Each structure stands twice: as structure tokens, then as C-alpha cells.
Structure 1
Amino acid sequence: MENGEEMQTLIKAARSGSVQSVKQALEFGIDVDALSSDHWTALMAASEEGHTDVVELLLANQANVDTKDLDGATALYIACYYGQVGAARALLASGAAIEMADDQGFTALMSASEKGYADVVELLLANNANVDTQLPNGDTALNIACWYGQVGAVVGAVRALLASGAAIELADDQGITPLMSASLKGHTDVVELLLANKASVNTQLPNGATALKVACEHGQVGAVRALLASGAAIELADDRGVTPLMSASKNGHTDVVKLLLPNARQAAQDPSMCLISQPTGGMTEVKPTQPNRWDATWGEAATRDC
């Protein structure tokens, strides 16, 4: 076989999970670190698929544990990205560089956190992964989990990060905290977990927006409910004077408006706002007395006349 064919034989065998085929390829003399055109090795292929026995065999045959692909990812990063905890454990036992990042600055911990693989996150943290490493934009594994995490899967990863001392208020370079990320994305269980761990509920972005404001803007009713239960300041406006109620109304989030109204003093007291009991297509139109500031509709009858 030519070198290219030999390399493909080994990588294909590793990806298939056939220990016997990998042994035969190595006995034939194929380089254990042979690279594909995209700079992948057999170790990377086995790590992606979670073939722990093949990973261990390749490592026992002196495979380079920290080779990078064209994007800067190592076998450990790849295993963590795909949630392959057994492969990740074998790689760490062979000295894989736990902090080695890809070309964008993502570490193995960040990749596992993004995907919500709590068991992988716990493994990495138990092996002393830096819980607060930041991307060039300031994101940490915690903020990444709260922002990108899969609904229903990410809470375990967040819990593991918090248990290892992740800085709960560490914001990215836009000032976005983990609580803001989870609130905007509607990860209610994560919002509740962060609040239970004493996340500051009224931290403001440089433009004055809070977690409550961004949750209202994006119609995340579960997050809004959790934030209000933890004492979020319902009247705290951004630097343009826009409150959470205004933001929810402007974007047509009726359920959020209904949730806010019983607690929003401005609805009854703010002279700049006029609530008009005139149904428009089954909805009630809401307008400010100062024209062109904002307008929206909601399905709740107005509480006072103009």
C-alpha cells in the first residue's frame, strides 16, 4: 500500500472501533501518528467515536496525545466536544494537555460545557482544569454553558462548574454575565441555579440593561418569573429609560407583560404611559403619551384610562 492508503487504513480502523484491525495496521508498520489531509490522526478518530479501548491501544503504541488538527483541536478537545468521557479519561491519564485550546481559544472544558456534558465537565475539573479561563471575548466555560447550552442538558454542567468555584459574576467584554446569558436564552433551570448560588440579580450592562430586561425583551417568561421571585428590580430602566415592561410590550410578549403588570407601578403611575382599553384585533393597544417613543400590544385589559 502507498503511504496515503496506509494512513487511511489505520484511521478507518480506529474510527470503526476494531481493536484487531488497529493492531494489524500497527503491526504492518503504519505510523501511529499518520495524518489525514485535514490533519486528523487515528487517535482523534477513535476519541471522537468514543472507542476507549482503541484510544488506549494507540496511546500504548506511543501516539502523540497532543497533535492538533487544522482548527487547533486535540484528541482531548475532540473527545470532550462529543461527550466521550471514557476516551477523555484515557487521554488525561496519558498526559493530555488539559488547557490546550483550539485556534479560537476554546479549551476542552469550554467545549464540554457548551454541549452540557456534565460527566465530562466533572472529569476535567477533577483533573484541575482552569474553571475561569477566558476566551479573547471574555467568555468563560460558565458563560458559554449558560449562553449556548442545550435546554435540559446544560444545568448539570453549570452545577459542576459552580461547585468548582466558577466566578459567577465574571462577564464577557460586553458586560454579559452568566445570569444574563441564561436569562436571554430562557434556560430557566439554569437561572434558578445561578440565583440559588447568589448571582447578582440586578447587575447592569454598560447600557443599563439587567437580566430581567433582556429576559423580557426576548419573551423568556420562565426566566422572568424566576428573576422576579429573587427580587429583580422591575422598574430598573436602561440608559434610554426603557423598563422591562416597556421592553416586553414593545416586542409583543403578552405572557411576560401579564406577569409584570401586577408588580409594575409604572403601569398605574407613570404619566408618560397611556394604557388604552381599545381592542385591536382582540388585543389591547398600549401607547405612551409622548409620541413615537414606543408602542406594542398585549392581551390584558388596561388598568386605567387616559
Structure 2
Amino acid sequence: MLAAGNDAQEYGDYKQEDSGQIRRDKTVQLLLNNEADIHLCSEDGTSPLYIACQCKYDSTVQLLLSNGANINLCENEGASPLYIACENGHDSTVQLLLNNGADINLCTKDKASPLYIACENGHDSTVQLLLDNEADINLCDDEGAVPLHIACQNGHDSTVQLLLRNKANINLCTKNGVSPLYVACYNGDDSTVQLLLNNGADINLCTKDKASPLYIACENGHDSTVQLLLHNGADINLCEKEGASPLHVACQKGHDSTVQLLLNNKADINLRTENGVSPLYIACENRFDSIVQLLLSNGSHINLCTTNGFSPLYIACENGHDSTVQLLISNRADINLCSKDGASPLYIACENGQDGAVQLLLRNGADINLCTKDGVSPIFIASENRHSRTIQLLMNN
């Protein structure tokens, strides 16, 4: 193994008639003539043939094969000599192995094929060589990802084009329902997205959680990708399994420009999730005041509540987002709008000791004695939670 991987460099003024390659092969042959075990591997399962393929020492590879080396002997993680040659883009070594009967679809333990690893690294000539030798273009790894997935993930457009020309399944999804287009949109790789769309990718193909390519582009704030998808007819209101739309996730992540882009393209501004959460509610929950203002300016319903009756003002008060509270009050939010159990914005602010919100609410006419359905008042809940400053504030009012 040491001989098979030796680069046999010259040092100083030492002169040698034979080249490094010739000396390497002479050493290998000498050892084999003296009954060296050709399959004796290192601790990680690396064989002499594997090392020679990794280093692109084709003459040594041929020598080992001629002496009976197992061409498909894998290291401990299941990588074969062909796999390591493909990983490094050693086309001449790949061709040599294929000519000698290497298993072209032999995968690692996590089911990554030689074609998969060549696509991951963008070795187009290696990819073409494997395809010309009938490698399985849609062979999946453990997660169900195919070579097209990994090429899209790494932005290797020429590799993507090569795979598509050879009839890779453009809409083949992983076990979680992730399509190649979804992967490209996740990364905001517009050139790959356009390439996939031009070749007939399903623009609204969702994951198992019902997240669309547009949804994931919005989640990551990839505005140019969002625009590209919308221009090609993506469903702007297509929701994931819990009812969150692309606008919801853009508001949740605080992507102002993405929110504006969606609103410009007529996204449903009052679309609610299964729990009744609106885009405005989620922006208030996360204290994204610029988005709150943007939504209100575009006609968002300021008092739209969740299924439990929690309003945007309620959630802002609960979290002590004073600037958001002020913004909502300035836009005429219902200051006494209660939840289903009768808890008002003032009540929840008192329960959590959010004194800034309490002061704002009282200054703007909140009912200081408005009780829950069980008769619990704001001052009672403040006392129960030992918020002494909140109690004093209520007493002063």
C-alpha cells in the first residue's frame, strides 16, 4: 500500500535513470513477486488499489488489477476504488476501472453512488463518462436524494444540464418530498432554478410538510428567486401543512423586501393558519415593526384574531413589544378586545409584568378593571404573580 501510493519524488542532486512512476511500479511488482498480500488493508479498510486510484496512478492500478486485486473492494464506509476515482475526477482511472469490470453502481454505506459523488463535485467529464457506461442516473442515497439533487444543491449548472439531457427525473423527490427545484430555491440559486423551470420542473411541487419552492425561497429571503418563481406562475398562497403561506413565513423571518414583493403580487394579506394566525399577528409576535406597518398600510385586518381569540395587540402586549403596541394603538386596534376566556391585552400585560405595555394601554383608555370570564382582574393577576411595579402602576391609575 505504501508503494502503491508513493509519489517517488526526486531529492537534491540524486539522479535516477527511471521515472518515479517506473520505480513505483517496480517496487509494487517486487513486493508482489515476494507474495505480498494484495488485499491487506489499513485500519479504515483502504486497499492498495484504492490508494492508487485516489492518486490517479493508472499504471499502478493496471499492475494491481493484473495481479488479481479485487476491483470492487471497498473501505469501511463502503467507498470503492471507482468511487474515489470519481470523487477526484480522475477520468483515465475511471475508464480503466470500468474497462476492467468495476461495478458502476456500487454505493457507499449511505447509498451514494460513483455518479452521485461526481455530480456533487461538478466533475462533468466524469459524469458523462459514467452516463456513457450506463450508470443509473436516478439511483438514490439513504435520504432519497439522486445525483440531480446534489448537483442542484451545489449549484453545478453544467452538471444539472448534463443530467437533464440524459433524462434524469426532474421531479424525483427525497423521502421528505424535497424536489431538485426546492433545493435550488432553498439556496437562492437563480440560474439553477431557471434551468429547472425551463426543463419542466413542477413549480408547485411540495414537500411532505406541504412546503412549496416559493415558501422556502420566502423563508430564506431570496427575493430574486421569489420574483422568478412568481413570474413563472408559482401559487403565491400555497400553504404548508399547518396553513402558513409564503407571506406568513416571510413575516416570521423579518424579510421586509420579500413581504413587499409578495404584497405587490397580491398575496392574501389576511390568510390565516389552522390556528387562526395571520401574517400581521406573526409580525407582531416577533416585533418586526416595519413589517407590521407595511401590512397595515396594505389593508391588513388589525383585529383579526387566532382561534383562541388572541389579537395582534394581545400578542404584542404578552411579549412586551412596546413599540409594536404603540404602532397598533396608533392604527386604532381594539384596545379591549379579549380572548375567548375573556383576557384583555391589559390583563396579559399585567400577568407577565410588562409595565411598558401596561402604561401604554392605560394611557390610551384600556379598561383597568376588565375581568376574565372567571372574574380575574388585571390587578389580581399582577398580585398573584408578584409584579409589585405593575401593581403600583395599576393602583396609581
Do the two structures share a fold, i.e. TM-score over 0.5? yes
Greater CA drift, 62-71 or 238-247: 238-247
Residue 43 (str. 1) matches residue 178 (str. 2)? no
Aligned partner of 2:221: which letter?
A: G
Q: Match for residue 280 of structure 1?
A: none
Q: Match for residue 98 of structure 1?
A: 236
| Structure 1 Cα separation of the partners of residues 365 and 139 of structure 2 | 63
Q: Match for residue 233 of structure 1?
A: 367
| Structure 2 Cα separation of the partners of residues 37 and 206 of structure 1 | 40
Q: Match for residue 345 of structure 2?
A: 211
Aligned partner of 2:172: which letter?
A: A
Q: Match for residue 183 of structure 1?
A: 317
Aligned residues: 259
2:295 pairs with 158, 161, 165, which one? 161
* Offset at residue 96 of structure 1 (A): 0.2
SS at match of 1:174: coil
Structure with the bigger percentage of strand: 1
Higher Cα radius of gyration: 2
More relative contact order, 1 or 2 (CA 8 Å, 6+ apart): 1
* Offset at residue 84 of structure 1 (A): 2.1
1:52 pairs with 181, 187, 190, which one? 190
CA contact (8 A) 1:116 1:155 kept: no
| Structure 2 Cα separation of the partners of residues 223 and 20 of structure 1 | 56
Give the TM-score normalised by the residue count of structure 1: 0.78
2:283 pairs with 145, 150, 154, which one? 145
Structure 1 stretches lacking a partner, 5+ long: 264-306
Residue 259 (str. 1) matches residue 259 (str. 2)? no
* Offset at residue 92 of structure 1 (A): 0.7
Q: Deviations over 1:161-192 (max 9, x none)?
A: 11110111121222211111111122222212
Q: Match for residue 222 of structure 2?
A: 84
Q: Match for residue 53 of structure 2?
A: none
Q: Deviations over 1:177-227 (max 9, x none)?
A: 111111112222221211111101112233332101111112223322322
1:133 pairs with 248, 271, 276, which one? 271
| Structure 2 Cα separation of the partners of residues 206 and 262 of structure 1 | 29
Q: Deviations over 1:55-75 (max 9, x none)?
A: 222222221100011111110
Give the TM-score normalised by the residue count of structure 2: 0.61
| Structure 2 Cα separation of the partners of residues 32 and 220 of structure 1 | 53
Greater CA drift, 2-11 or 65-74: 2-11
Structure 2 stretches lacking a partner, 5+ long: 1-134
Q: Match for residue 281 of structure 1?
A: none
CA 1:242–1:90: 2 relative to 1, 3 Å: same
2:357 pairs with 220, 223, 248, which one? 223
